[in-house]
Structure 1
Amino acid sequence: MMFLREPLLHFAVAGAVLFGGYSWLHHTSTEAVAVEPVRISEGDVRWVKQTWSSQWLRDPTADELKGLIDDLVNERLLAREAKEMGLDQDDTIIRRRLAQKLKFIVEDTAQLAEPAEAELQKFYAANPSRFETPGRLSFKQVYFSPERRADAAADARAALPSLNAGDAGPDGDRLIVGDVFDDTEAAISGMFGPDFAHDVGALQPGAWSRPVKSGYGFHLVFVTKRTPAAPKPFDTVRDAVLAEWRNARQAEVSRNYLVELRKKYGLELEDDVATALNSATAPTVAAK
């Protein structure tokens, strides 16, 4: 029985006990996690049926509903196993989807609040250009095409005196959009470009202008009438004011939330990254 007194035997037995105990505990905890069931609630079934009905405009049959629930179970089982395997880590698509989902949740909180009437009135007064009847410009033009003339700008300048003198003046080139216009500055900008719309909007009615350049070429412009923008009464645009207020509120809530997240988690930039950012513009938190 001398071998029972061997230290090596004692060490081996102690090791076996420790290993067995660890294996039992680890196996037990693994089993406890593994047996956590995937639960499908009545709410899940109701959501599945509503989703189906909205697409097919009818309720699913019993067999179709069974297939839908089976698909949902399989999806959750696969998702759980994928997460257990760490497949959700460092995945760009999953990261973007999670960020998008949280962003929607944060923005939805802004919809819960209803502004007081005084707050809407204040918002309306602070943003008059959003709630007004846009101004209009009425004008005619004579067009000079760079593609048809050696120097369209010079030809336009040469024609200006006779036009201002009341003469018929030289014929211009044909322009597909026409020669007479009565529209908003935004519509004119869409046809000729923002620079043309801005320059024509600054002209005084009643005289032919110097050549004005557009994306087509050069124009002599005669403004016949300018109708300034006019504010719409609050009562007639209240719904639009409320919608704009909610959009602004969503942007503010999202912006503030991202600022707080930066404070919570911190932000570390490697030297090259910081240099690149500082050489451009300071990093900002996007609201949208």
Structure 2
Amino acid sequence: MTIITRLLKEPLLHFLLIGAGIFVVFYAMNPAAKEETSDKRIEISEAEMAQMAQKFQTTWRRQPNDEELTVLIDSKVREHILVQEALSLSLDQNDAVIRQRLAQKMTFLITSAAGALTPSESDLRGYFEENSEQYASEPKLAFQQVFLAEQQDQAAFDEALSALNSGADPVSIGQRSMLPAEIRLSTRPAVDGMFGRGVFDAVLTAPTGTWHGPIQSGFGYHAVFVTELVQGELPEFAAVQDAVISDYREGKAQELTEEILKELRASYDVVLPDQAARDAITQ
């Protein structure tokens, strides 16, 4: 396979070409973007006028009449004039809000290229398999719990676990609390919402058929006995295909953005503060 053939099959090349195409289309449809800083000519295109009319219709539920359209056009001309004069005075140079807004628009322009992607089914299935955990249903578990103590006492915990595994009544072990002694089949948010973050995962790894602990919660330490465990299941690809397409495009959009920004940065002479200046701030 020749280098040219490999390049033509490289997805990133397709992304870059799409990105370049979007820039061309943007400037073709927005001549003002080139003219605002070049000369005194202002042109309101038919497409721009149609956009103004559409915005008016969205707001007022009807098309503008001729007088109203004239007002809209005059307002847009006024906007162009003010923007060009502001740029000629370099009023945009030290305005953080304007710079951030321009950066956001450029980022949107770059990442919107991903919206034109039409991934193949093999690409989507590969992505689905690589990120299967993202689409699997949440596991559920049911368990009994005995509140042992607020503070850690390993000797007391070992004694309590031994008694429980020997058949002692859980009611007679540990301390009283307002927490339920038995938790029915529940998901991670439900269990962690009741006991504190991380408890579900801790109980999920506990062996079944025996009392286990201590498990630390937001209240203290517990002995737990898992009574039922339902592992998360991976759905069929067809059932989550729309979500996979969306996630795939989002991931490729981020990849494309980073690649284009990397290429753009390479075309600039970037001068950064030296290490001494950095150390003066960080130390």
* TM-score, L = length of structure 1: 0.71
**Residues matched between the structures, number:** 241
CA separation in 2, counterparts of 1:72 and 1:142?
Answer: 71
Aligned AA for 2:90? G
Distance 1:35 1:221, change over 3 A: closer
Asked whether the 8 Å contact 1:139–1:181 carries over to 2, the reply is: yes
- Residue 137 of structure 1 aligns to a residue whose secondary structure is strand
Shift of 1:78: 0.9
Asked whether the 8 Å contact 1:145–1:173 carries over to 2, the reply is: no
Shift of 1:105: 0.7
Aligned AA for 1:111? G
Paired-residue identity, %: 32
Asked whether the 8 Å contact 1:185–1:201 carries over to 2, the reply is: no
For residue 199 of structure 1, what is the aligned residue in structure 2? 202
Shift of 1:259: 1.4
1:43 aligns with 2:47: yes
1:69-118 superposed Cα distances (whole Å, 9 cap, x missing partner): 33322222111111111111132111111111110011011111201111
Pairing of 1:170-181 with structure 2 (within 5 A):
170=173, 172-175=176-179, 179-181=182-184
Structure 2 gaps of 5+ residues are 1-36
Shift of 1:131: 1.9
CA separation in 1, counterparts of 2:149 and 2:69?
Answer: 67
Which residue among 124, 128, 138 is the counterpart of 2:128? Answer: 124
1:77 aligns with 2:81: yes
Which residue among 260, 275, 282 is the counterpart of 1:272? Answer: 275
Asked whether the 8 Å contact 1:49–1:60 carries over to 2, the reply is: yes
Shift of 1:128: 1.1
Distance 1:209 1:95, change over 3 A: same
Structure 1 gaps of 5+ residues are 1-32, 281-288
Distance 1:140 1:73, change over 3 A: farther
- Residue 140 of structure 1 aligns to a residue whose secondary structure is strand
* TM-score, L = length of structure 2: 0.73
- Residue 134 of structure 1 aligns to a residue whose secondary structure is coil
1:262 aligns with 2:265: yes
Asked whether the 8 Å contact 2:141–2:185 carries over to 1, the reply is: yes
CA separation in 1, counterparts of 2:225 and 2:43?
Answer: 74
1:163 aligns with 2:164: yes
Asked whether the 8 Å contact 1:107–1:250 carries over to 2, the reply is: yes
Q: Which has the larger radius of gyration?
A: 1
Asked whether the 8 Å contact 2:141–2:186 carries over to 1, the reply is: yes
